């Protein structure tokens, strides 16, 4: 169960499949577009951190120069799948080796039949190297086969151009291109080499020095039944990585040219072998779940920056235009647990990105009149807020919708601190906590202490006018998730402060030179902790999601079935806001993150209440995995239905937007659903324990986690 296979090519599913067949190596990702191109494709390569300015969304990952192209001419006929006849087609993504293969037979308009096999990989062993190979076998003709391949700077982001040409060169051994992003001035240089081998034949090489598209062409005569093998080596560096990207990409190319496909692929395969060694989850008894879980883990792994602590993972990873590469709480709350427990070095990089971006968060807090650090809801290269303020209304495309999340979805500041704490608890990485993590936790605590408003009349602190995780409801007061996480952030900061002062005084002094902490602040923190309003009805045990939620209109979701749209699309933004319907778990999300706050009976009462009111099918893609975990905790048999919804999010395009990119949070949530839901992994005073809730048919879940540097193996089997 390692292969994602597509047996027929349907141009209507083109964008969805480009997302599914994305390959990557944590440095870049390339969507699964065809080497030879196809009309209306959304071919794209995104590199971590390579952002450029864009209208409305402020900044976006710039689609990088195209490295993939292979233009093929078969006895003078141009190979393209929108012409001629496709006689057979199979596309396979081998998750184990991160290799994409397309095997097809094509009859040209003039009746020439050819068997073509394309393979590509973005090396995990050498992250600046990508390779593509094509084998071409004429089946019923002999003639000249020519392949042209270059580096195309003529790329855009859905029509917006991000690259200025700087220089290029074409030699027998290589073609190279140097470009720069228009506004952010990030230099990218790439180099490539092309070869063709036909046994017993000489191949001919031509240089094609077209402006902004340096290329090479190789050709050879070939007889029916013989095979031509074409190889393209590709290297690239940016000024984010090195001082002289051009020199480095050309030098790297010459180094890799000493090796052939088999050697370079073997190093890549080995790197993936060790990756899976640490991260695989074995599920027995459910092939669909097994494949989907591996596919989602693969998506996390190809998006994970291994050598860069200045980047985060966008909500749509590096696999599409959705959310333009911006990062949300999706990383810290949904994806990060996978990395913390299997690849802590990657988790450290991701959390370091937040630490590096403290200046942006401080700016945001200051601009809003608050202390400390207020993290942006959407974050990109610099850590400034990049949530668009207005976006075109998808319903009519002419009116505009005000997006409030960047202004008032504030829980992300506590989410980041929470993730840092989880990382620390699981790794014991003291240097990270002392040098970076503590600063974030203290600065976000400062933010909360100033964001909470004192209500004189009621003698309590409140956090008003916000959006909680459930985005169907905006401008609400005292969202319990936000208030409870803010309180947790303050309490944790208080404990951390004492620990730093008492046990790490020199680290504290160093840190204090940066944050200039005033002891008087502690009084305020304590006051806020004691008086922050956290709604709870001890009689019913129901937790009101925010003040006035229970007064909103209750909707029987079953009565809306069958439907193909979200409740928000059916009722409108205002209409959904007036109901009790949730876009995604909110109170339950809190109970998942801070389980000690509530007893089991409270969990059961709230699970029953909110489960019935959540837009599971068409609400947020972040919901189903968490709902599955909470269903396990509530012993609800519906857990599998939620799980499989998350498992299919991208593979089956259940929300009809997979073409925009992988739902990274859903991928991370899926891992959590298996580990913390079905396997029931929990950290107790006796250490890590499992409390399995295996779905029907599942006979085994096996996985590893790392705890304080030690690998722990779990093998959960169904008792018969």
Q: Give the footprint of ligand IFM on this chain (CB under 6 A).
A: 315, 323, 328-330, 469, 471, 620, 622, 665
Least distance CB 124 / ligand IFM (angstroms): 26
580/620 with CB nearer ligand IFM: 620
Of the two residues 65 and 388, which places its CB atom closer to ligand IFM in the complex?
388
Q: Which residue in this structure is represented by tokens 């047996």?
A: 7
User: Residue 6, exposed/middle/buried by CB under 10 A (0-12, 13-18, 19+)?
Assistant: middle
- Closest to ligand IFM by CB, 35 vs 471, is 471
Q: Choose between 29 and 387: whose C-beta lies nearer to ligand IFM.
A: 387
Q: 200 Cβ partners below 8 Å, 6+ apart?
A: none
Instruction: Tell me which residue of 23, 427, 39, 321 sits closest to 31, measured CA to CA.
Output: 23
Q: Measured from the CB of residue 342, what is the shortest distance to ligand IFM in angstroms?
A: 22
DSSP string, 497-559: HHHHHHH-HHHHHHHHHHH---THHHHHHHHHHHHB-----TTT-PPPSSTTGGGSBP--GGG
Nearer to ligand IFM, 181 or 666 (CB): 666
Q: Are 462 and 478 in contact (CB under 8 A)?
A: yes
How many Å apart are CA 76 and CA 636, to the nearest integer?
Answer: 63
The pair of three-digit structure tokens given for residue 83, joined into one six-digit string: 């012409």
Q: Write down the least CB distance from residue 280 to ligand IFM, Å.
A: 26
Please state the separation of Cα 386 from the chain's center in Å: 17
Residue number with CB closer to ligand IFM (22 or 92): 22
Q: Give the residue from 98, 70, 134 showing the smallest Cα distance to 266.
A: 98
The catalytic position among 471, 523, 547, 601 is 471
β-bridge pairing 460-462 and 453-455: antiparallel
Q: Residues 42, 321: contact at Cβ < 8 Å?
A: yes
Distance CA 451, CA 140 (A): 74
Residues sharing a CB contact under 8 Å with residue 496, sequence separation 6 or more, in sequence order: 438, 441, 442
Looking at residue 695, the DSSP 8-state letter turns out to be: P
Beta carbon nearer to ligand IFM, 497 or 546: 546
Q: Cβ of residue 589: shortest distance to ligand IFM, in angstroms?
A: 10
Token pair belonging to 481: 């998730």
Give the residue from 700, 479, 447, 426 showing the smallest Cα distance to 586.
479
- Beta-carbon contacts of 213 under 8 Å, excluding residues fewer than 6 positions away, are 150, 151, 152, 153, 154, 177
For ligand IFM, give the closer residue by CB, 504 or 648: 648
**Three-point CA angle 267, 268, 273, nearest 5°:** 95
Task: Find the shortest distance in angstroms from Cβ 593 to ligand IFM.
Answer: 14
**Residue 554: how many other CB atoms lie within 10 Å:** 12
266 is catalytic: no
With respect to ligand IFM, which residue has the nearer C-beta, 181 or 444?
Answer: 444
Please enumerate in sequence order all residues whose Cβ is within 8 A of that of 207, keeping only pairs 6 or more positions apart, or say none: 170, 171, 172, 175, 215, 216, 217
Which residues are part of the catalytic machinery? 471
């Amino acid at each position: 169960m390692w292969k994602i296979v597509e047996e027929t090519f349907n141009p209507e599913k083109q964008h969805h499949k480009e997302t599914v067949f994305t390959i990557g190596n944590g440095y870049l990702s390339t969507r699964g577009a065809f080497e030879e191109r196809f009309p209306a494709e959304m071919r794209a390569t995104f590199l971590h951190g390579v952002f450029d300015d864009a209208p409305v969304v402020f900044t976006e990952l710039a689609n990088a120069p195209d490295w993939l192209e292979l233009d093929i001419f078969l006895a003078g006929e141009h190979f393209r799948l929108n012409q001629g006849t496709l006689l057979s087609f199979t596309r396979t993504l081998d998750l184990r080796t991160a290799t994409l293969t397309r095997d097809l037979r094509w009859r040209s308009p003039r009746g020439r039949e050819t068997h073509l096999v394309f393979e590509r990989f973005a090396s995990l062993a050498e992250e600046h190297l990508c390779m593509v190979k094509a084998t071409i076998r004429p089946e019923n003709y002999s003639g000249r086969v020519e392949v042209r391949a270059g580096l195309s700077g003529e790329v855009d982001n859905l029509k917006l151009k991000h690259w200025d040409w700087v220089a290029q060169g074409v030699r027998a051994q290589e073609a190279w291109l140097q470009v720069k992003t228009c506004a952010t001035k990030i230099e990218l240089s790439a180099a490539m080499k092309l070869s063709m081998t036909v046994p017993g034949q000489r191949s001919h090489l031509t240089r094609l020095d077209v402006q902004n598209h340096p290329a090479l062409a190789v050709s050879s005569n070939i007889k029916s039944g013989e095979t031509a093998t074409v190889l393209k080596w590709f290297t690239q560096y940016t000024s984010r990585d090195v001082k002289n990207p051009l020199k480095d990409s050309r030098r790297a190319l010459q180094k890799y040219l000493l090796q052939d496909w088999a050697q370079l692929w073997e190093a890549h395969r080995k790197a993936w072998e060790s990756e899976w060694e640490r991260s695989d989850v074995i599920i027995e008894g459910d092939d669909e779940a097994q494949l989907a879980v591996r596919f989602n883990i693969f998506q996390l792994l190809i998006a994970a920056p291994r050598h860069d602590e200045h980047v985060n993972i966008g909500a749509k990873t590096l696999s599409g235009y959705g959310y333009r590469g911006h990062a949300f709480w999706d990383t810290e709350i949904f994806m990060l647990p996978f990395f913390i427990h299997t690849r802590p070095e990657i988790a450290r990089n991701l959390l370091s990105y937040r630490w590096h971006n403290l200046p942006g968060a401080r700016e945001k807090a200051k601009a809003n009149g608050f202390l400390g650090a207020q993290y942006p809801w959407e974050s990109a290269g610099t850590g400034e807020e990049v949530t668009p303020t207005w976006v075109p209304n998808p319903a009519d495309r002419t009116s505009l919708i005000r997006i409030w999340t960047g202004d008032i979805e504030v829980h992300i500041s506590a989410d980041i601190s929470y993730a840092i704490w989880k990382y620390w608890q699981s790794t014991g990485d003291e240097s990270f906590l002392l040098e970076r993590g503590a600063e974030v936790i203290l600065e976000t605590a400062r933010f909360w202490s100033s964001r909470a408003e004192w209500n004189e009349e009621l003698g309590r602190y409140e956090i008003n006018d916000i959006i909680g995780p459930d985005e169907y409801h905006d401008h609400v007061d005292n969202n319990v998730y936000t208030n409870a996480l803010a309180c947790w952030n303050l309490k944790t900061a208080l404990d951390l402060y004492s620990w730093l002062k008492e046990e790490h005084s020199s680290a504290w002094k160093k840190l204090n030179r940066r944050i200039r902490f005033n002891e008087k602040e502690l009084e305020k923190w304590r006051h806020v902790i004691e008086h922050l309003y956290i709604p709870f009805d001890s009689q019913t045990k129901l937790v009101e999601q925010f003040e006035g939620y229970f007064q909103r209109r209750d909707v029987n979701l079953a009565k809306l079935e069958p439907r193909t749209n979200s409740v928000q699309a059916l009722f409108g933004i205002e209409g959904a806001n007036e109901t009790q319907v949730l876009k995604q778990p909110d109170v339950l999300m809190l109970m998942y993150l801070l389980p000690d706050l509530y007893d089991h009976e409270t969990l059961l009462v709230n699970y029953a209440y909110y489960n019935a009111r959540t837009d599971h099918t068409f609400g947020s893609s972040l919901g189903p995995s968490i709902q599955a975990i909470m269903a396990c905790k509530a012993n609800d048999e519906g857990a599998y239905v939620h799980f499989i919804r998350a498992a299919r999010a991208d593979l089956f395009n259940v929300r009809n937007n997979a073409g925009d990119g992988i739902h990274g949070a859903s991928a991370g949530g899926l891992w959590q659903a298996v580990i913390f839901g079905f396997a029931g992994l929990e950290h107790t005073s006796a250490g890590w324990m499992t409390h399995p809730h295996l779905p029907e048919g599942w006979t085994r879940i096996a996985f590893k986690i790392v705890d304080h540097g030690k690998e722990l193996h779990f093998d959960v089997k169904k008792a018969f």
